[in-house]
Amino acid sequence: MNRYLLSVDVEDWFQVENLRSIYPINSWNNQELRIRRNIGLILEILGSRNTKGTFFILGWIAKKMPGLVKEIQAAGHEIASHGTNHESLKILNKRAFEEDIAESKTLLEDLTGNEVIGYRAPNFSITDWAIDALIEKGFRYDSSFFDFAKHDRYGSLKQYKAENAVSRLTENFHEIRISYLQFMNSRLPWGGGGYFRLYPYQLFKLGIRKIIKSESIYCFYIHPWEFDQSQPKVNGISRFNRFRHYNNLDKTKDRFRNLISSFDFEPLKSAL
């Protein structure tokens, strides 16, 4: 059976790695929150097709806007954790990471009354010891492994083998990989986000069909700020990061609408 998995990483425009040098965590309280409107748009698009997905919500956002979490839950989507403060696992130690995931899990469970079983690492910076910590804290799956070594920010799994689109790492714990497209000898990142905005839409869709043919599972992700072409434009970041963050923001909404009507997406937990 083919499965199309849909995920939304719930963080606001100033919380992304590309802008981290301009907006350190201690400045977040002073920034304009634009996420409510952008999540509203995503919920409306998904609702129009009765599509459900998984929302990996940042603890910082859940604390600030508990009503938003409840709104996402009320619309029938899976609530999962994106950690608390969006700090890359490349800079956190295991102890700090444990605190970060425990805080976000408790927060989301208190708000929703449901167990939170899924996790996605900031910048896909997953690593073996983080999987150990997730298992210890009672998570049942991670979806952070972007097996695409060329990206400086992504993490990797070595002891844990996540060779399939969905891999059982232990008895009760799975890894749901972010999709890539095998093209000749290269792996092209094909999971969504900036790549969804970068590649021509029809080509992106063809790629999904190719992935489904070989793996039967496709895992897509997007961020609310990618729907927001009116977000504040920031100077003082590299041209490359500028491109990564702002490229084709005006196209996301129509492409996403089209994507949702082309494939029957489901929450990630349905692949376990």
Contact positions vs Zn ion (CB under 5 A) = 9, 11, 122
**Nearest CA to 84 among 65, 107, 115, 67?**
107
Amino acid at 147: D
Q: How far is the CB of 184 from Zn ion (least distance, A)?
A: 30
The residue among 90 and 168 lying less far from Zn ion, judged by its C-beta, is 90
The residue among 11 and 215 lying less far from Zn ion, judged by its C-beta, is 11
The residue among 144 and 179 lying less far from Zn ion, judged by its C-beta, is 144
Q: How far is the CB of 163 from Zn ion (least distance, A)?
A: 25
Q: How far is the CB of 15 from Zn ion (least distance, A)?
A: 7
Q: Inter-axis angle of helices 252-262 and 201-215, to 10 degrees? A: 40
Q: How many CB atoms lie within 10 A of CB 239?
A: 7
Q: 212: helix, coil or strand? A: helix
Query: How far is 269 from 173, CA to CA, in rounded Å?
Result: 11
Query: How far is 37 from 40, CA to CA, in rounded Å?
Result: 5
C-beta nearest to Zn ion: residue: 9
Judge whether 72 and 109 are in contact, CB under 8 Å: no
Q: How far is the CB of 86 from Zn ion (least distance, A)?
A: 6
The residue among 122 and 224 lying less far from Zn ion, judged by its C-beta, is 122
